[in-house]
C-alpha cells in the first residue's frame, strides 16, 4: 500500500513537471517580448514609414496592410461561414452529405498554412489574374479561417434552445423568420467570438500571404485592393532573417505589436464568451 502511494507521488510530480514545462516557457516568451519590445514602442514607431532598408523608422505600412488583409478576409469568410453554419445547424439532416461536410471542415482546418499559400497563388494570383495583391491575400486568408467561423457559429446556433424555435413556428412564423428573428439574435455572442478568433488567426499567419500579397519592402500605403501590401507577420520574418543588422529593438518591437494584436483579439473573444455565458437568460 505504501508503495502504491509512493508511486502515485512520483507520477503526480512528473505530471506536474510536464505542465510546468509547457506553461513556464509560454510565460517566459510573453514576458521577454513585453520586456524587450515595449521600450521600442512609441508613436513614431507605430506611425512612421520604415526607413534605411527597414533598419530604422516605423512599421506603419505593415500595420495598415495587416488591417486591410484581416478586414478583407473577414468580409469574405463571415457571410459564407455564417450561412454554412446555419445550414449545418438548421437545415442539414443526419445523413452522408452532412458527414462529408463536417469532414471537409475538419480537413480545411488541417490543411498546412503554406499549402493555402500555394492554393492562393494558383487560383487567385495566376488563374484569376488578381496578381500579387491584397485581394488575393484576403481571399486566401478568408478560406483559411472559414472552418473557425463555421465551427464556432454552428455551436452558437445549436446552443439556442429548440423550444424557442418551436414557439416561433407554432405562432405561424416561417422557418427563415424563426432563424432571422429568434435563433440568430441569440447566437450573436458566439458568432462574434468565432469571428474575432478568425481575425486573430488571419492577422498572425505568414505562410498564406508569402506569395499572394506580401511585399518585402513597400514604404508607402497600398492604393487599391490590387496593390501589394506589407504585413506585420511577414515584416517580422523579413527583418529577422532576410535583412542583416537590424536593430534588435525594432525586431522585438514588431514582435510585440503583432503579439499584442493577436492576443488582444483572443482576449476580447474570451471576454465576450465569458460575459454572455453568465448573462444567459435561459
Partner 1 sequence: MVKFEVHDLNIWFSSIHALKQVNLEIRSNEILSVIGPANSGKTTFLRTLNRLNDLNAAFKMTGAVELERKDIRGIDIEELRRKIGMVFALPLPLPLSIFENVVYGVRMQGERNRKKLEEKTEQALRQAYLWEEVKGRMDESAFKLSGGQQQRLCIARTLAVDPEVILFDEPCSGLDPISTAKVEDAMVKLKEKYTIVLVTNNVKQAARVGDRTAFFLSGELIEIDATDKIFTAPQDKRTDGYIRGRFG
Partner 2 sequence: MRKIKEFVIVKLIQVCGLASIFFVALIFLFLLKEGLSVFKTVSPFDFSFGKNWYPISEPAQLGILPLISGSLLVTLGAAVISIPIGVGCAVYIAEIAPLKIKEILKAGIELLAAIPSVVLGFIGMITLVPLVKNIFHLPTGLTALSGSIMLAFMAMPTIVSIAEDALYSVPKTYKEGALALGATHWQAIWRVMLPAASSGILAAVMLGIGRVIGETMAVMMITGNAAVMPNSILVPVRTLTATIAAEMGEAVVGSEHYFALFAIGIILFIISFAINVTADLFLQKRQQ
- Give 46's DSSP letter: H
Directed axis angle between helix 248-279 and helix 184-204, to 10°? 170
Q: Which residues between 94 and 113 bind partner 2 (CB under 8 A)?
A: 100-101, 103-113
Give the CB-side neighbour count of residue 267, counting CA atoms within 13 A: 6
Sign of the CA dihedral running 183, 186, 187, 188: positive
277 interacts with partner 1 by CB under 8 A: no
Q: Which residues between 148 and 177 bind partner 2 (CB under 8 A)?
A: 150, 174-177
237 interacts with partner 2 by CB under 8 A: yes
Q: What does 27 bind: partner 2, partner 1, none (CB cut-off 5 to 8 Å by kind)?
A: partner 2
Q: What does 168 bind: partner 2, partner 1, none (CB cut-off 5 to 8 Å by kind)?
A: partner 1
- Return d(Cα 204, Cα 23) in angstroms, integer: 21
Of positions 36, 102, 165, 249, contacts partner 1 by CB under 8 A: 165
163 interacts with partner 1 by CB under 8 A: yes
| Interface region with partner 2, contact rule CB under 8 A, candidates 57-65, 145-153, 185-193, 217-225 | 145-153
C-alpha cell, 79: 457571410
Give start and end residues of each alpha helix (H) in 171-247. Answer: 175-178, 184-204, 232-237
| Interface region with partner 1, contact rule CB under 8 A, candidates 5-13, 141-149, 158-166, 204-212 | 158-166
Q: Which residues between 64 and 93 bind partner 2 (CB under 8 A)?
A: 79-81, 83-84, 86-88, 90-92
Q: How many CB atoms lie within 10 A of CB 2?
A: 6
CA distances from 272 to 138, 183, 279 (A): 25, 18, 11
Q: What does 116 bind: partner 2, partner 1, none (CB cut-off 5 to 8 Å by kind)?
A: partner 2
Based on CB atoms, which residue is closest to partner 2, 103 or 281?
Answer: 103
- Give 208's DSSP letter: G
* Rg (the chain; Cα; Å): 23
Q: Which residues bind partner 1 (CB under 8 A)?
A: 93-94, 163-174, 177, 181-182, 185-186, 281-282
Amino acid at each position: 500500500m505504501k508503495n502504491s502511494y509512493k508511486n502515485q507521488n512520483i507520477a503526480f510530480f512528473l505530471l506536474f513537471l510536464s505542465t510546468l514545462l509547457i506553461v513556464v516557457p509560454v510565460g517566459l516568451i510573453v514576458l521577454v517580448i513585453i520586456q524587450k519590445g515595449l521600450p521600442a514602442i512609441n508613436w513614431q514607431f507605430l506611425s512612421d514609414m520604415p526607413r534605411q532598408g527597414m533598419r530604422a523608422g516605423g512599421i506603419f505600412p505593415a500595420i495598415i496592410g495587416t488591417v486591410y488583409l484581416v478586414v478583407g478576409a473577414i468580409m469574405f469568410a463571415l457571410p459564407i461561414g455564417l450561412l454554412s453554419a446555419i445550414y449545418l445547424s438548421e437545415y442539414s439532416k443526419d445523413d452522408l452529405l452532412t458527414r462529408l461536410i463536417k469532414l471537409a471542415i475538419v480537413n480545411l482546418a488541417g490543411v498546412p498554412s503554406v499549402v493555402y499559400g500555394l492554393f492562393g497563388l494558383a487560383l487567385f494570383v495566376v488563374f484569376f489574374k488578381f496578381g500579387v495583391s491584397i485581394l488575393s491575400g484576403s481571399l486566401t486568408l478568408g478560406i483559411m479561417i472559414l472552418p473557425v467561423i463555421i465551427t464556432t457559429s454552428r455551436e452558437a446556433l445549436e446552443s439556442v434552445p429548440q423550444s424557442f424555435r418551436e414557439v416561433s413556428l407554432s405562432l405561424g412564423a416561417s422557418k427563415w423568420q424563426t432563424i432571422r428573428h429568434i435563433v440568430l439574435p441569440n447566437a450573436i455572442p458566439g458568432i462574434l467570438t468565432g469571428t474575432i478568433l478568425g481575425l486573430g488567426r488571419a492577422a498572425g499567419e505568414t505562410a498564406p500571404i508569402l506569395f499572394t500579397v506580401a511585399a518585402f519592402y513597400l514604404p508607402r500605403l497600398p492604393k487599391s485592393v490590387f496593390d501589394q501590401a506589407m504585413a506585420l507577420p511577414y515584416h517580422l520574418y523579413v527583418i529577422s532573417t532576410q535583412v542583416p543588422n537590424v536593430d534588435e529593438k525594432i525586431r522585438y518591437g514588431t514582435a510585440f505589436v503583432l503579439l499584442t494584436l493577436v492576443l488582444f483579439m483572443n482576449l476580447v473573444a474570451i471576454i465576450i464568451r465569458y460575459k454572455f455565458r453568465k448573462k444567459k437568460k435561459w
